Amino acid sequence: MLTCNLDNPNEKIAEYVGSFLHDPVWVRRRIETVTFLDYDTIRSRTTLDIQMSTIANLMSDLPLHPSRPLVPLAVLKKDLLANFDLRDASGNALSVVPRYVDTFFAFSFLCAEAAKVLGNELGNVAVEIRQHLKNLVFDFPDIKDKVSFLTVNKWNSHESWESDVLEKWEELLENNDFNGYLRDFTFNYILIAQLPSGPDVQIVKYSHQSSPRPNLRLSKNTVSELIGFDAAEFSIQAPSIGWDRSYHFQVKPPEGVVVTDLYLVRGRRISEVRRSDNSNDIYNVQMGNDFAQAYATDNLMQASFNFIVLLRVSIVGYLRAAWLSTIFAAAVLLFGDLFLPELRAAVGSRAEAAVALLLVAPSLIAAYLVRPGEHVLASSLLRFLRYLAGLSGLLTYIAAAVLVLKFRGETIPTTWNIVTGIAILDTLIFTIAMARTQNDVRELVRMTGRTYQFRVIDVPLIEE
């Protein structure tokens, strides 16, 4: 694949990677579509338009075989990709370069950038630094490291280094541009494919399924999200933003779920956030009934980008029916509590009729606790509201039980006061969730079909 020595960085390869990162003229368009498989797993499908004549012009100076061009396609998170697939427009499988090749590409680029910062020639970068950069690019990040952390444990240099090498390494880390590139290739890698030399314009499609690491989730929902007060927030990494002329991102929620908002955040060092002017860092967003999409151009410089997707369960169907059932259950209990002496007398003479009325509510609620065919993501978002609906039905069972068993003294009035209060609180929580969901959906309807421009939100990297 390569006709040069892989132990030393190559200047031409570094320039090729730099062209890919800053102005990939061979990538005419990129469209990424994300679908949710379940609460913890997404599937990304990406389509690229590649212009091979541009690649051919660049290949003349590269240590590559001209008949088998190696084309950088994307920057992906370092992870074990599940169900990865790379094909052309006809559905034929395309080959991906081995890991040592994409490592050499990123390694050459980082060494070239280090030489620029230190004012050296490419070959004069300290051997210790070059080897350390190669290891960082090849290895997976430390399990404790996150892209949002300001300090990355894997960057720590070895104690055996000479003092002058340590000083140069610290100088590199203090440089914002180099720090950003190093962060990119510590957590991501370059997807490079071997494409045929013709036709001139080729359609390349790749897809993969990504899952969070153990004990982590795509979304760390707060209590307010779990009970429906706020939309559930999902963070999806988008490392290819800023490295293409045209980047389209689309989210398609499963049936029964809607996207209520979509916005772009960028992780930066605090010093960069304070002095940066993001007035030109614009991207476009369009919302639809069953999708949300964003569009960005090369005016955005590469950084640690994440799309924040806000999801709500649709009101139509289960949510509204369960809410009305909890209202009915609370109303029955409140009415019975207000007229408890009459209800106790009725139970004494017509127990079956009185208890049957109390058991109507749990029967209605039970019908909405299980929905065959419901998407697992919708089930996860409804989990705690289902608990509330089930609790509402259980309360009426308890109220009916104390009546039938004819407890003496204040047991029945006390029990009814408690279950009625809990049922009202239960219904109040459900009502607030419904109202806030309705507000988000109403805002979505207002935005549907229109294109809006937003500025990127800068988020300081976390100092651990």
Task: Identify the residue with better confidence: 419 or 279.
Answer: 419
pLDDT band at 239 (very low <50, low <70, confident <90, very high): low
Which pLDDT tens digit goes with each residue over 384-394? 888 888 888 88
CB atoms within 10 A of CB 369: 16
- Concatenate the DSSP letters of all residues of 391-422 into one string: HHHHHHHHHHHHHHHT--TTHHHHHHHHHHHH
CA dihedral 213, 219, 220, 225 (to 10 degrees): -160
pTM of the full predicted structure?
A: 0.74
Residue with tokens 């080729």: 202
Give residue 106's pLDDT: 93
Which pLDDT tens digit goes with each residue over 324-377? 888 888 888 898 888 888 777 766 665 555 555 555 655 555 555 556 677 888
- Which tokens is 354 given? 């009185």
- Concatenate the DSSP letters of all residues of 313-375 into one string: E-IIIIIHHHHHHHHHHHHHHHHHHHTHHHHHHHHHHHHHHHHHHHTHHHHHHHHHH--TT--
Distance CA 208, CA 73 (A): 14
CB atoms within 10 A of CB 441: 16
- Which tokens is 329 given? 């259950």
Q: What is the mean pLDDT of the chain?
A: 81
Helix locations, 47-188, DSSP H: 52-59, 99-118, 127-138, 163-174, 176-187
Residue 212 has pLDDT above 60, yes or no: no
Distance CA 296, CA 214 (A): 32
Largest CA distance in the chain: 100
